[in-house]
Structure 1
Amino acid sequence: MSSPPHAGHAPEDPPEALPPLDDLDEPVRVPLKIEDGLTVLVMGALALITFANVIARYFTNQSFAWTEEFSVFLMIVLALVGSSAAVARDRHIRIEYFSDSGSMARRKNLSRLGAVLVALLFALIGVLSIRLVWDDYRFNETSPGIGIPQWWYSIWLPILSIGIALRAVGLFIRRGRWS
């Protein structure tokens, strides 16, 4: 025995499709597809590196020396890119009891305060990490695993931190437009 059809649908009608996730995002000047694409690329690279290392260990009882170093780097990049997407979508960590209660003016002000604090934090991280990159470059620091220049890894911290700060500034501006 089959279940009865839903009201308004004939049994052979396909269910309505959910809107794509991009349709759920509020409009931004710099497309969120940048973070989404980077996330896919980084996760794909992590999966390929890990799979190659597992296969190498299985057949040779040895691992590739570079996989751990690249994997750690890619996980840090993934965390920063994900943070940028979360800030742009206003889905960063917060205590919803406080952020989602009260009047619209209170929620707007809390959202803007959060955006300002995130922007300040990541701008500070970006500026201070420039010194780290400069020191890695100036002192010819090399990575511990495979000996490539350390600044190849550390250059991404200020770049991605400033990107997160800019996304937070954009969120601050968008939250100022609420009526």
Structure 2
Amino acid sequence: MSMVGFLARRLFGFGAGLSMALVFAIIFINSLRRYTVGESVSWGEELPIYLTIYGVMFGLALAYLQDRHIRFTIFTDFLSFRLRERLFAAVDLITVAAGVGLMVSGHEYAARRGHITSSGLRSTGRWLADTTGLEWLNWIGKVGTWQYAMAIGGAILAVAALIRFIERLSANKKAA
């Protein structure tokens, strides 16, 4: 399981880092264009917002997987090690359920709004579809595509919590 955990940490870290790098690059390029050419790219205002949401979701899963998330330990510090680890394992399972719930509700939300076009990205999606002849590229201009971040975030949170639960159990067996 340690290899799966290692790969998941790499994937989630890469996703968070790539999202933030793209946000920086888009804002930087958009700022340069605004002050040199006098106009911004049409998608430069909206896309960083969506990419930030994806970055937060990947970062959330990474933090949970590393067990470095925010935790209030004022009461758990008074518990024995064994009881505390059992409590944290139970929280891992609850987090798996919460991630699945977030995934389902995020899917339902994005599916309901999947037909609505995103004002800043509509023309880019249409241009890509027309240029390449691939009609499926119109999805870039749909709001549901970017709002699907909640469903993906829920899925990767559930996966991270499940991996963390299994790692916690195997660590407890070694300690016992």
State the alpha-carbon separation in 2 of the partners of residues 97 and 155 from structure 1: 36
Question: How many angstroms does 1:164 deviate by?
Answer: 0.9
Report the secondary structure of 1:64's partner residue.
coil
Deviations 1:88-128 (A, max 9, x none): 11112111323344211121022112212222212101011
1:156 partner amino acid: A
1:144 partner amino acid: S
Question: How many angstroms does 1:38 deviate by?
Answer: 1.5
Per the alignment, residue 167 of structure 1 pairs with 160
Report the secondary structure of 1:74's partner residue.
helix
Question: How many angstroms does 1:159 deviate by?
Answer: 2.2
Q: Which residues of 2 match residues 3-82 of structure 1 at below 5 A? A: 27-30=2-5, 31=7, 32-82=9-59
Q: Number of aligned residue pairs: give it.
A: 152
Report the secondary structure of 2:117's partner residue.
coil
Per the alignment, residue 11 of structure 1 pairs with none
Deviations 1:33-74 (A, max 9, x none): 111212221121111111101111211343323112111001
Question: How many angstroms does 1:160 deviate by?
Answer: 2.6
Structure with the greater alpha carbon radius of gyration: 1
1:167 partner amino acid: A
Per the alignment, residue 10 of structure 1 pairs with none
Q: Verify the 8 A CA contact 1:99 1:111 in the aligned structure 2.
A: no
Q: Verify the 8 A CA contact 1:84 1:164 in the aligned structure 2.
A: yes
Q: State yes or no: 1:85 paired with 2:62.
A: yes
State the alpha-carbon separation in 2 of the partners of residues 47 and 99 from structure 1: 39
Higher relative contact order (CA 8 A, sep 6+): 2
Per the alignment, residue 152 of structure 1 pairs with 145
Q: TM-score, normalised by structure 2?
A: 0.77
Structure 1: gaps (5+ residues): 1-25
Per the alignment, residue 116 of structure 2 pairs with 141
Q: Verify the 8 A CA contact 2:95 2:158 in the aligned structure 1.
A: yes
Over the matched positions of the two proteins, sequence identity in percent amounts to 23
Per the alignment, residue 126 of structure 1 pairs with 103
1:153 partner amino acid: W
**What is the aligned-residue RMSD (CA, Å)?**
1.9
Per the alignment, residue 137 of structure 2 pairs with none
Q: Verify the 8 A CA contact 2:27 2:44 in the aligned structure 1.
A: yes
State the alpha-carbon separation in 1 of the partners of residues 121 and 155 from structure 2: 28
State the alpha-carbon separation in 1 of the partners of residues 76 and 35 from structure 2: 50
Point out 4+ residue stretches in structure 1 off by more than 2 angstroms: 60-65, 96-102, 144-147, 154-157
Q: Verify the 8 A CA contact 1:123 1:161 in the aligned structure 2.
A: yes
